[in-house]
């Protein structure tokens, strides 16, 4: 069978790599993919991004199932368009994806269904927002309503920072129409975890939990990024807390969407803050798998991922079996010079060839590519940077300490001009265990 993955990041590389291991999958296409997917055996990139052409390709190639990685095509209705012509695709419709594409939709939905989240107020007028900020206390969190590629959230420690965030989003319109409206949210303290499930609209299959590292620098300092590293599982979700998250957040969300006439089928990612008294609260919903969380999650997933997705598409997810490697997987993102503001392209990535050869027989690590491209030079090919996050170097280990050591050993063999990576991925879990 042939499958098609939409997207070109590390998440899509990891999904494609896992699906290619299924005995039922002969060929995986990735549209548009990256250098990593181009160089994997049994995986082929296709240079298409427009929905009508993707439909044409899926029909021509008799694609069994298409899986959507990023949020943008979901927001553009790729699932609605594929379903209209009876093509099988896994992901939410644009209506269901509003849980991610509109913070106000998500907040109002959570309020209606009593899903725990931070208190908030919405504004489309800057003067009213300033007044609200001046009358209250800080920290506060300012969020643009629409999709902003990770740039739409400002945690303001001072009232001046809160004013500047309102100015940038509502007045200067730095994020375009994504910032036509904002919410100002209560600041929540605690530990962040990523809780991702698959659902067919009725049944729910939780994936292994994980933790991301959103800030650029060690110790969670510096600007927010798309994620600088992740590991799975985390020690912060006990089986009791897992059950509480399912009962108080995941089921109410999926059942609530169904009650409102929207079937939610796809991955659902709840970004959670676990408050000091053990209460999980939703920071955000995403209508897709996380990046970089997917990379360690896929390294731990055992068995046939294609069959699980097939069950989800056929609405028999209750019959799917999922098994996890009990070891910890930890992925370190290596980002380009200038990331996240202004990532530089075309830096030559060195040190990959041997590792990419070794990982063909050693499944305890994998170098997942994100922003990479192949450049022809003389008679040779070289891998160059082509985006903000370049690689996610992911390894398994009996403990998180070992997984961390294994991944850093690999990262230290790779080099490109200006490369940036954090030295402390997994530190919260390591502190806790010591």
Q: Specify the residue, 283 or 373, whose C-beta has the smaller distance to ligand AMP.
A: 283
Helix (H) or strand (E) holding 35: helix 35-38
Q: Specify the residue, 17 or 231, whose C-beta has the smaller distance to ligand AMP.
A: 231
Residue with the CB atom nearest ligand AMP in the bound state: 284
Min. distance of Cβ 130 from ligand GLY in angstroms? 29
Min. distance of Cβ 24 from ligand AMP in angstroms? 35
Q: Tokens 């998250």 label which residue?
A: 245
Min. distance of Cβ 226 from ligand GLY in angstroms? 6
Between vectors from CA 151 to CA 278 and to CA 188, what angle results, nearest 5°?
A: 20
211 contacts 194 by C-beta, under 8 angstroms: yes
181 contacts 122 by C-beta, under 8 angstroms: yes
By C-alpha distance, which of 72, 101, 66, 104 is closest to 86? 66
Q: Specify the residue, 227 or 252, whose C-beta has the smaller distance to ligand GLY.
A: 227
Q: Specify the residue, 194 or 420, whose C-beta has the smaller distance to ligand AMP.
A: 194
Q: Specify the residue, 181 or 192, whose C-beta has the smaller distance to ligand AMP.
A: 192
| Contact of residue 153 among ligand GLY, ligand AMP, none (CB under 5-8 Å per partner type) | ligand AMP
Query: CA-to-CA distance for 355 and 364, rounded, in angstroms?
Result: 12
Q: Specify the residue, 38 or 272, whose C-beta has the smaller distance to ligand AMP.
A: 272
Query: CA-to-CA distance for 164 and 218, rounded, in angstroms?
Result: 25
210 has which bridge partners?
194
Q: Specify the residue, 256 or 290, whose C-beta has the smaller distance to ligand GLY.
A: 290
| Contact of residue 187 among ligand AMP, ligand GLY, none (CB under 5-8 Å per partner type) | ligand AMP
Helix (H) or strand (E) holding 166: helix 159-166
Widest pairwise Cα distance in the chain? 66
Min. distance of Cβ 290 from ligand GLY in angstroms? 3
Min. distance of Cβ 150 from ligand AMP in angstroms? 6
Query: CA-to-CA distance for 213 and 396, rounded, in angstroms?
Result: 18
| Contact of residue 155 among ligand AMP, ligand GLY, none (CB under 5-8 Å per partner type) | ligand AMP
The DSSP result for 72-86, as a single string, is HHHHTTHHHHHHHTT
Kindly give, in sequence order, each residue whose CB lies less than 8 Å from that of residue 363, ignoring residues fewer than 6 positions away: none
Within 13 Å, how many C-alpha atoms sit on residue 415's CB side?
Answer: 3
| Contact of residue 286 among ligand GLY, ligand AMP, none (CB under 5-8 Å per partner type) | ligand GLY
Enumerate binding residues for ligand AMP (CB under 6 A): 118, 141, 153, 155, 185-188, 192, 214, 224, 271, 283-284
| Contact of residue 185 among ligand GLY, ligand AMP, none (CB under 5-8 Å per partner type) | ligand AMP
Min. distance of Cβ 119 from ligand AMP in angstroms? 9
Q: Specify the residue, 180 or 224, whose C-beta has the smaller distance to ligand GLY.
A: 224
| Contact of residue 290 among ligand AMP, ligand GLY, none (CB under 5-8 Å per partner type) | ligand GLY
Query: CA-to-CA distance for 303 and 300, rounded, in angstroms?
Result: 10
Enumerate binding residues for ligand GLY (CB under 6 A): 212, 227, 286, 290-291, 293
Min. distance of Cβ 70 from ligand GLY in angstroms? 9
| Contact of residue 224 among ligand GLY, ligand AMP, none (CB under 5-8 Å per partner type) | ligand AMP
Min. distance of Cβ 100 from ligand GLY in angstroms? 9
SS3 content of the chain, % helix, strand, coil (to 5): 35, 30, 40
Q: Specify the residue, 49 or 224, whose C-beta has the smaller distance to ligand AMP.
A: 224
Query: CA-to-CA distance for 367 and 70, rounded, in angstroms?
Result: 20
| Contact of residue 291 among ligand AMP, ligand GLY, none (CB under 5-8 Å per partner type) | ligand GLY
Query: CA-to-CA distance for 143 and 92, rounded, in angstroms?
Result: 23
Kindly give, in sequence order, each residue whose CB lies less than 8 Å from that of residue 261, ignoring residues fewer than 6 positions away: none
């Amino acid at each position: 069978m042939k499958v098609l993955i939409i997207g070109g990041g590390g998440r899509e590389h990891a999904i494609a790599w896992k699906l290619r291991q299924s005995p039922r999958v002969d060929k995986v296409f990735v549209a548009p993919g990256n250098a990593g997917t181009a160089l994997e055996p049994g995986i082929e990139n296709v240079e298409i991004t427009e929905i009508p052409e993707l439909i044409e390709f899926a029909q021509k190639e008799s694609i069994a199932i298409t899986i959507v990685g990023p949020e943008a095509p979901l927001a553009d209705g790729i699932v609605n368009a594929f379903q209209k012509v009876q093509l099988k695709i896994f992901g939410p419709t644009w209506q269901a994806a509003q849980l991610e594409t509109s913070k106000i939709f998500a907040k109002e939905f959570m309020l209606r269904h009593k899903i725990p989240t931070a208190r908030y107020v919405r504004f489309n007028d800057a003067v009213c927002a300033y007044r609200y900020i001046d009358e209250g206390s800080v920290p506060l969190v300012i969020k643009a309503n629409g999709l902003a590629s990770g740039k739409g959230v400002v945690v303001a420690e001072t009232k001046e920072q809160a004013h500047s965030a309102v100015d940038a989003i509502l007045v200067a319109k730095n994020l375009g129409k994504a910032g036509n409206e904002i919410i100002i949210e209560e600041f929540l303290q605690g530990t962040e975890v990523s809780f991702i499930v698959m659902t067919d609209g009725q049944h729910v299959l939780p994936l292994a939990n994980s933790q991301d590292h959103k800030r650029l620098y060690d110790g969670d300092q510096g600007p927010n990024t798309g994620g600088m590293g992740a590991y799975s599982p985390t020690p912060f979700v006990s089986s009791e807390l897992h059950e509480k998250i399912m009962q108080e957040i995941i089921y109410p969300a999926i059942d609530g969407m169904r009650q409102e006439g929207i079937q939610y089928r796809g991955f659902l990612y709840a970004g959670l803050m676990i408050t000091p008294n053990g209460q999980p609260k939703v920071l955000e919903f995403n209508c897709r798998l996380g990046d970089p969380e997917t990379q360690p999650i896929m390294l731990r997933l055992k068995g046939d991922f294609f069959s699980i997705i097939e069950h989800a598409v056929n609405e028999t997810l209750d019959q799917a079996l999922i098994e996890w490697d009990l070891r910890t997987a930890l992925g370190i993102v290596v980002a380009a010079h200038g990331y996240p503001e202004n990532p530089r392209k075309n830096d030559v990535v060195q040190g990959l060839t041997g590792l990419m050869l070794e990982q063909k027989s050693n499944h305890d690590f994998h170098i997942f590519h994100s922003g990479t491209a192949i450049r022809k030079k003389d008679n040779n090919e070289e891998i160059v940077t082509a985006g903000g996050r370049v690689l996610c170097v992911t390894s398994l280990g009996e403990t998180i300490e070992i997984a961390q050591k294994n991944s850093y050993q690999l990262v230290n063999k790779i080099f490109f001009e200006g490369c940036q990576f954090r030295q402390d991925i997994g530190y919260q879990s390591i502190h806790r265990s010591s």
